[in-house]
């Protein structure tokens, strides 16, 4: 399968093909929902999406390594090395993931500032453990989520000028991350981080100490439940706005994005259905359900690609 994708994308150089292959493996191993959605893209689009995910995964692995012997200074140095290598130019033949992502960035003319924003937010994770208000968390998400949505936009293609579709792409990236913040409250506490605005939590009588109490007792205090419900509604609103922009994408890309949005949105359904029991289990969408949603998306994707081929000049 990967060979046909690389052939479709006209990626011929052996070392570069190995880089894209490695990125695809990272996506398959760590992004189950995202990887499933990428299967709905046309084969020539998939390698670039895998490369962008692989680069993000590289940075995440540096930051989220739970080895207690790896200090913040070492993580900061590794992240800076990644940044230096990426922006140094060249083909990065010694690093397959960097080779693939730099090739993708050049091919699709992705704005380098989006990678700068992403790495800036990753650096924040080295020292920032709490966010006082919505503006602060939005600043973090500008690089960690919105930038990624904007990176993939040239790969997906649009039927309007890119700048018209950009706010919706950024919002969808933000919606995905807000979903992760809700789902992973307990896991993030173990890393010493709280990705929910402190002032909005305080409005419900919630602070870090109460969140830690919930973690230690494996239960959701009613005040925390109220705070999480408020964050849940903000996330729903973000999805509604983002989804209204899917029609601005190239037709062949819409089934993939719609499917990813639906599956991530269903994680919110699971969180709400559990009565926000995020300290006892991690909300997930079951495999059967994921395959059912993806199957419907696959049919829409096939129809969109077939229609596009029929509309080509000279097609009968």
DSSP 8-state secondary structure symbol assigned to residue 94: T
Q: Compute the distance between CA of residue 296 and CA of residue 191 in angstroms, rounded to an integer.
A: 38
Looking at domain 128-307, what is its CATH homologous superfamily? Farnesyl Diphosphate Synthase (1.10.600.10)
Residues of the chain above pLDDT 90, percent:
71
pLDDT classification of 30: cutoffs 50, 70, 90? confident
Q: What is the pTM of this model?
A: 0.90
Residue 54 · residue 28 · CB < 8 Å: no
Fold entry, domain 1-111: Farnesyl Diphosphate Synthase (1.10.600)
Is 128-307 in the same CATH topology as 1-111?
yes
User: Looking at residue 158, what is its pLDDT?
Assistant: 97
User: Looking at residue 68, what is its pLDDT?
Assistant: 62
- Of 155, 152, 149, the C-alpha closest to 168 is 149
Residue 69 or residue 202, greater confidence? 202
- Mean of per-residue pLDDT scores for the chain: 90
User: Looking at residue 311, what is its pLDDT?
Assistant: 43
Residue 170 · residue 70 · CB < 8 Å: no
Q: Give the tens place of pLDDT for each residue, 223-238.
A: 999 999 999 999 999 9
**Strand partners for 158:** 249
For tokens 């809700």, the residue is: 182
Q: Compute the distance between CA of residue 279 and CA of residue 274 in angstroms, rounded to an integer.
A: 11
Residue 158 or residue 32, greater confidence? 158
User: Looking at residue 42, what is its pLDDT?
Assistant: 92
- pLDDT of residue 292 exceeding 90, the answer is no
Lowest mean pLDDT among 29-38, 179-188, 255-264: 29-38
User: Looking at residue 44, what is its pLDDT?
Assistant: 95
Residue 177 · residue 146 · CB < 8 Å: no
User: Looking at residue 37, what is its pLDDT?
Assistant: 85
Please report, for the chain, the start and end positions of each structural domain, with discontinuous segments joined by +.
Answer: 1-111, 128-307
User: Looking at residue 307, what is its pLDDT?
Assistant: 67
Sign of CA dihedral 270, 275, 276, 281: negative
Question: Within 13 A of 95's CA, how many CA atoms are on the CB side?
Answer: 18
- Of 271, 246, 238, 232, the C-alpha closest to 37 is 246
- pLDDT of residue 244 exceeding 80, the answer is yes
């Amino acid at each position: 399968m990967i060979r046909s994708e690389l052939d479709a994308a006209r990626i011929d150089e052996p070392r570069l093909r190995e880089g894209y292959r490695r990125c695809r493996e990272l996506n398959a191993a760590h992004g189950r929902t995202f990887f499933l959605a990428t299967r709905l893209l046309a084969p020539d689009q998939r390698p670039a999406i895998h490369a962008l995910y692989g680069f993000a995964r590289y940075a995440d692995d540096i930051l989220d390594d739970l080895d207690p012997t790896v200090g913040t200074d070492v993580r900061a140095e590794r992240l800076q090395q990644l940044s230096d290598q990426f922006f140094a130019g060249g083909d990065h033949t010694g690093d397959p993931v960097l080779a693939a992502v730099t090739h993708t960035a050049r091919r699709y003319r992705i704005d380098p500032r989006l990678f700068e924003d992403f790495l800036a937010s990753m650096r924040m994770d080295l020292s920032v453990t709490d966010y006082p208000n919505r503006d602060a968390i939005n600043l973090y998400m500008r690089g960690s989520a919105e930038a990624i949505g904007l990176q993939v936009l040239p790969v997906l293609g649009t039927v309007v000028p890119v700048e018209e579709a950009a706010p919706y792409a950024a919002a969808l990236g933000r919606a995905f991350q807000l979903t992760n913040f809700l789902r992973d409250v307990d896991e993030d506490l173990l890393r010493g981080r709280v990705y929910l605005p402190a002032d909005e939590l305080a409005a419900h009588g919630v602070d870090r100490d109460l969140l830690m109490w919930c973690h230690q007792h494996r239960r959701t205090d009613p005040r925390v439940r109220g705070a999480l419900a408020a964050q849940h509604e903000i996330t729903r609103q973000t999805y509604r706005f983002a989804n209204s922009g899917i029609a601005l994408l190239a037709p062949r890309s819409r089934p993939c994005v719609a499917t990813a949005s639906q599956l991530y949105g269903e994680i919110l359904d699971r969180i709400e259905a559990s009565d926000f029991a995020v300290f006892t289990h991690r909300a997930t969408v079951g495999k059967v359900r994921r395959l059912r949603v993806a199957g419907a998306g696959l049919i829409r994707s096939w129809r969109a690609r077939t229609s596009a081929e029929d509309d080509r000049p000279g097609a009968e």
